[in-house]
Amino acid sequence: MPSSAARPLSGQVLAFVAVGVVNTATYYCFYLLFLLLLPYLAAHVLAFAISMTGSFFLNARFTYRTRPTWRKFLLFPLTNATNFLATTVGVYVLVDVLGVGSRYAPLLASAAAVPVTFVLSRTIMLPRRERSAAGPPAVPAPLSGPVPGPDSEQVRG
């Protein structure tokens, strides 16, 4: 897909969250289905693999509007590993350090992990030129002259 089809950053974030909701529902439905036939751990692994594959294609199509490639597909599991690590550390910090209840800590940790996972998946899915075209520049442009002070007589616009 051409870079002109790139979705603006705000649209990418919204689509990423929507895909995440679909991905979670897909995982859970397959998990329950496989649980009828398999031990829970096998059901979890299979459901996770299916939902992660679906997440890759949904994010490629709807979130980033980019062509799926084998390279992106093979790198995409890093987003899930990062999410797992961030949520695990988050749950520990929330429960054992901050005293948050263990029933709510995973929800808070998952919400906190979304931005990290989004940035990593965006880095994997979009070439640098498309990442910078869809969002604000990573580094501000250098100033061409001295910065006017508060007593400057320059015209301000």
Are 73 and 52 within 8 A, CB to CB?
no
Are 91 and 107 within 8 A, CB to CB?
no
- As a whole number of angstroms, the distance between CA 103 and CA 85 comes to 18
In 3D, which of 64, 49, 79, 83 has the Cα closest to residue 125? 64
pLDDT (0 to 100) of residue 10:
86
* Residue 76 in tokens: 């995409």
DSSP code at position 3: G
Q: Is the pLDDT of residue 26 over 80?
A: yes
- Give me the chain's average pLDDT, please: 81
pLDDT band, residue 150 (cuts 50/70/90): very low
3-state SS, residue 146: coil
- As a whole number of angstroms, the distance between CA 56 and CA 19 comes to 9
3-state SS, residue 51: helix
CA angle 23/82/43 to nearest 5° reads 45
pLDDT (0 to 100) of residue 6:
65
Q: What is the pLDDT of residues 66-119, one digit of tens each?
A: 999 999 999 999 988 988 898 889 989 999 999 998 888 888 888 888 899 999
Segment 33-59 shows an average pLDDT of 93
Kindly give, in sequence order, each residue whose CB lies less than 8 Å from that of residue 102, ignoring residues fewer than 6 positions away.
91, 95
- How far, in whole angstroms, is CA 47 from its chain's centroid? 20
Are 94 and 105 within 8 A, CB to CB?
yes
- Taking the model in full, what pTM does it have? 0.69
Lowest mean pLDDT, pick from 52-56, 72-76, 81-85, 151-155: 151-155
pLDDT (0 to 100) of residue 157:
39
CA angle 7/124/2 to nearest 5° reads 40
Percent of the chain with pLDDT over 70: 78
Q: Is the pLDDT of residue 129 over 50?
A: yes
